[in-house]
Structure 1
Amino acid sequence: MATPRLVEMIDRYRAAHGVSESEVARRIGVSRENLRKWRTNGISRLPDRANLAATARVIGRPYREVLSGALFDTGYLTTSSDGPRPYGEVLDDAIGVLTEATRLTNQLARRTAEGSWEADPDPRASVPIDWGEFVTLALAGAAANVGGVEAALVGRPGSWEAEMVRQTLNSTAADDTDLLRHRTEPVVVDLWVEPILDHLGDSVEDAYADAISAVDAGANDVPQPADLPPGPFSPDDPRLTDKEWVDVTDDGYLHITYRGWTDDPDDIALLTTLTEEARDDRDPTPGEIAYEQAMDVISAQITALEEQQQREYAAYAVQLTQAIETRLAQFELSVPVTITITLAPEAREAGEWDAHSPQPFPRNVIERAIDSAISETPTPSTLPGTPLERLTSPPQAPNA
């Protein structure tokens, strides 16, 4: 059975943010057993709207996308696409919502005999809502979700329609920062350390590559163990029936000469096999022991450099996360804010690097705040000394 689309969305969120299945189930408001059944048995009944809304909020996806996934899983939709819906379909929905809003009413209040106020139960006391305010708030929320007024009007900024919308939004919010109070979608920051450092033109990656190359080059200075003559080989080995022999030695083994051997791949392979077998039957020489020990030291040093690089990147991720949190806190957002900065996985799909990179040209106040935090957070390249020097020194903080 294919994994339900709703579960796939949840799994992508869990993988990106390191959240357990139990924890994400708790945040959504369902039991872990219920989530497990969705995964193993499929989704046969449409989840409650509250659960779907909570799912959208927790995983940071639009409610309609989550709803469409659930409708597809339960068979109410036969096709599903991750791409944007057609213009006409979205426009029809928008018209339907705005039309529905024209029919909303407010119930006027009346004073009770005790002097308090209560809703007037007389249906004739209801009045239409302020539809103009409703439309303006809807526009403000949409503009805030995409990052600002100009981001919303980027399709045709010079049209008269755009100018009317701009004036309406400017009358509602002083600027794009003030507009953020109307935002309804969560803020999700999901970056990888390596693309961030690449974006900054940071030199730490090259410094570690140079350090590892320098250590690896030390292998050229390690004395090679002396080559031992091939053998001894057993005179009864059927593989040597066609080869030329020398006299049998006192140890009862036949020592083979290179006379009569050719450059034929089969001969070379046989000689290599016989030599390795013979070497396995004896104790290593002091030269071989010293060589292996020296190579083990080099390998251990390279591993230590790679582990140190990972630790420094992880520490940088923590510092940058805190810096972005501080920057975004100034906006006093009323929506969830999720910041995830991790090391890039070794196996990744095409396009993921760019998807987890900072915006090269920040387009709105949130992206500018993130860019400022990135610019001001010291990177591992500001740590004192070279990677090799740091490997033998106590940990130190980056230079601010």
Structure 2
Amino acid sequence: MRHACFHLLAGLLAACVLPLHAADYRAPAARDDGWPVADARTLHADVARLAALATKIRSGSYPGITSVLVARDGRLVYEGYFNGGDPERLNDVRSASKSVTALLVGAAIDRGLIPGAQAKVYDYFPDKRPLQHPDPRKQAITLEDLLTMSSLWECDDENAFSSGNEERMYVTEDWLQFALDLPIKGFAPWMAKPQDSPHGRAFAYCTAGAFVAGAVVERAAHMPLARFAGEALEKPLGIGHAQWNAAPLGIGMGGGGTRYRSRDLAKLGQLALDEGSWHGRQVISAAWMRAMLTAHARARDDADYGYLWWNFRKPVTGTDEPVWAMGGNGGNYVFVVPSRRLVAVITSTAYNQRYAHPQSQEIFREYVLKALPR
């Protein structure tokens, strides 16, 4: 009898505790921003897991996380703000901005302002001649080389000794001249050469290259990058508030530091998921979106690289399903999972912290993916 009572009590406790935990979940509020919203419970999501995530963030276990948003099948199903985050906050997503620059390159190509990804970069900057370290191979550098972080410039942000390290660029006045003057890199015996690398490209993370890609868009469009972004991308998506940085001489910073609201970041992810379409309007051509979200270089053992978008593999998801992502310092991410029709935004202020990226990826893997069924 005692055993029966014990099991009955355990069942009652489970019935009380789990719904209470799940009751902490709240469906996103409908706003006049173009986002359809839905209750995750209608999708048979594990809302208790989403509620547990919010509790864990509020406990301080994931420091610096300011928002987590999830969209499934084009509807926002989870929205949480923490540590000073709120719906109107313009999040500094650092290098996730590079992925926006890739979208703007596509918009410029769609408009005939740039002939294509094979356009020669130096052709857009005749006023910057003569150049330091002249070399015919520099004149052959294409926009695609910059978008895939595989140009022959000696530029590596992960190498403090690199001539093109972004910190060296930031202390100069003319960032564009700095980049165009970079020497051709050499390949030490232990370094993979382009011809020996997956996809035929040797990857090296280079913020200066993304900056120059944005400068090409400015030259081609004859307007500031922020204005072109507003007209070609943000206005069609109903994004009314954004902030772009500029280099000391006024060129738009396509390499980092752009600020967007969390819901607007989710729109960028949804645009990628829907091959450039938003509410039935083709904002950027599907052809460009497919090219952008195609692996063009091997970035590291667990990730490939498209056009300024990351393509994570098994270590992030726990499975082999592809996950595309905008990613930036501090653990800022916009994840796109085509196989699940899923977009997830994680914003964070854990800048320059070693735990920043692992904790955001853990949130995505252990909470977002496990809460939403396939």
Normalised to the residue count of structure 2, the TM-score between the two structures is 0.22
Give the number of the structure with larger relative contact order, counting CA–CA contacts within 8 Å between residues 6 or more apart: 2
Task: Indicate the structure with greater helix content.
Answer: 1
Normalised to the residue count of structure 1, the TM-score between the two structures is 0.21
